[in-house]
Structure 1
């Protein structure tokens, strides 16, 4: 999915904008998407310590993963 689609879907789920970053690591409790070499990595940052959740070849795949992760955490069925 695209960045705009992800932001829209997360908003529909009621996910606060401070709960994620699509522009790199942030030092707070949030999910972050980071471009690294030729990969896109997804981290969960807790207490300023990033923990890599997954890596992907495209940012669209990383955005899909972020959406599905929030759906799973919230106990919500993903929509297409």
Structure 2
């Protein structure tokens, strides 16, 4: 799954758009997907901190994991 496909699936599942960011950053109380030099990060952002950080080798695994967190 790509980031674009993930965004479409999240909308189909009516997941609140303020509960996630597919462009990284540190929004308050949101799950995030972020592309870095070392891979794809998925984490929870709260009060300017990353918690529960997981790093994936590929976009598909990261997107699948984030989808499970948000829609599962």
TM-score (norm 1): 0.76
Work out which of the two has the higher radius of gyration on C-alpha atoms and give 1 or 2: 1
What is the alpha-carbon root mean square deviation over aligned residues?
1.5
Q: Could you tell me how far 1:29 is from its partner in structure 2?
A: 1.0
Q: Could you tell me how far 1:10 is from its partner in structure 2?
A: 0.7
Q: Could you tell me how far 1:15 is from its partner in structure 2?
A: 1.0
2:31 alignment partner, SS class: strand
Structure 2 gap ranges (5+): none
Q: Following TM superposition, where does structure 1 have runs of at least 4 consecutive aligned residues deviating by more than 4 angstroms?
A: none
1:28 alignment partner, SS class: coil
For each residue in 1:34-72, what CA deviation from the matched residue of structure 2 results, as whole angstroms up to 9, or x when unmatched? 222221110101222211331100122111111011123
The CA distance in 2 between the partners of 1:27 and 1:40, in whole Å, is 17
- The size of the alignment, in residue pairs, is 72
What is the aligned partner in structure 1 of residue 70 from structure 2? 70
Structure 1 gap ranges (5+): 73-80
The CA distance in 2 between the partners of 1:60 and 1:25, in whole Å, is 20
